[in-house]
Amino acid sequence: LSLPAHSPPKKPSISPTGFKMVEQKLLR
């Protein structure tokens, strides 16, 4: 999973919880 380069630099480092939430959104 790779985030777009043009994504806003709000979170410099993706957190495990955030990654899980993104995974769930992608799966759904």
Percent helix, strand, coil in the chain, to 5, is 45, 0, 55
Within a 10 A sphere around the Cβ of 22, how many other Cβ atoms?
A: 13
Residue given tokens 């985030």 in the structure block? 3
- 11 contact partners, CB below 8 Å, separation of at least 6: 18
Shortest CA distance to 26 belongs to which of 3, 9, 10?
3
18, 1 Cβ separation under 8 angstroms: no
pTM: 0.31
| Segment 1-28, tens digit of pLDDT | 666 666 665 665 666 777 777 777 777 7
